[in-house]
Amino acid sequence: MAHLSEQGEPRPAERLPLTTIIPRAWIGFSQAPWRFVGLTALMLITPTGLSMIARDLEQSDSWWLTTIGDALFLATFPAVLLPLVALLQLADQLLPPGPTTARQASAPRLERLRWVFRQTAALTLLEAVILIGAMNLIRIAGALMASHSGVLSGVILVSGGLVLTLWAVSQSLALPLLIHHRHRPLAAMEHSRRLVQTNRLKIMALIGLLIGVNLIGLMGAFVGLLLSIPFSALLLMASCRTQTPWVRDSRQNMLPT
């Protein structure tokens, strides 16, 4: 089913360039491997250290130390988000340019990073609220039905969990699309839903590829993750270089350059 653009014209369906994302990711990683490894190490070490310090402070009898521990625990969220945004932004810059890159390159780099971080934080908060709210709603509905029918309660829990999983899959590309296209949170969520709806099998293959890459990284413990996480970021950002069938402008993004 064709979707309407802002001018009211039908949008052509976007296709995920699954066959080219691996060579694209390798080209991007080879351009700045140590920058990718450094950002990944920062993303892994900083929140781990903050959470360990926060756990020790929360066990103290002092009210001030406990409060500081709670503040440090809350600080782990931006400590993960900041290097993650920087990692995805770096991957987006080093991959072959998309049709909107040149138009957005005029903005100062620091200003772009601040804007992307604010929108990413808003997107993460919005999706977390939806996810947590839906989980609680399913749990409450299942508990209320449990007193009347255990079978009906189980059906509600299973069906609700399935719907929530499908929604989570439909939002798997929201963050990369936000960074690449400079979307607002709601626009990124809608774009991700449309892209996943059009490319169901390719999205499943992409998720399987990401899981496989990071499982291989886990085999190498911390050192393996330093390579698998940036490669996963490159794969996600390469997936945003979508192809539109029968549109001439999309042909320039079909192969790595």
Q: Which pLDDT score is estimated for 1?
A: 45
Q: Is residue 156 part of a domain?
A: yes
Q: Is residue 242 part of a domain?
A: no
Q: Is residue 167 part of a domain?
A: yes
Q: What residues make up the domain containing 119?
A: 108-197
Residues 6+ apart with CB under 8 A from 70: 54, 58
Quote the Cα angle for 81-83-89, to 5°.
Answer: 100
Q: Is residue 150 part of a domain?
A: yes
DSSP letters spanning 51-71:
HHHHHHHHTSS-HHHHHHHHH
Residue 230 to residue 23: CA distance in whole angstroms: 14
Q: Which pLDDT score is estimated for 105?
A: 46
Amino acid of residue 50? L
Each residue's pLDDT tens digit in the chain (257 positions)? 445 554 444 456 788 888 889 999 999 999 999 999 999 998 888 888 878 887 877 777 777 878 887 787 777 888 888 899 999 999 999 987 654 444 444 455 777 788 888 999 999 999 999 999 999 998 888 888 877 777 887 888 889 889 999 999 999 999 999 999 999 999 999 999 999 999 999 999 999 999 999 998 888 777 888 999 999 999 999 998 887 664 444 444 444 44
**Nearest-CA neighbor of 112 among 76, 95, 88?**
88
4 forms bridges with which residues in the sheet? 10
Q: Is residue 76 part of a domain?
A: no
DSSP letters spanning 95-142:
SPP-TTHHHHTTS-HHHHHHHHHHHHHHHHHHHHHHHHHHHHHHHHHH
Residue 236 to residue 239: CA distance in whole angstroms: 5
Q: Is residue 131 part of a domain?
A: yes
Q: Is residue 174 part of a domain?
A: yes
User: Among all chains, which residue has been given the structure tokens 């296209």?
Assistant: 181
Q: Which pLDDT score is estimated for 111?
A: 79
Name the domain count of the chain: 1
The pTM score is 0.81
Amino acid of residue 146? A
Give all strands (DSSP E) within the chain, no chain letters.
3-4, 10-11
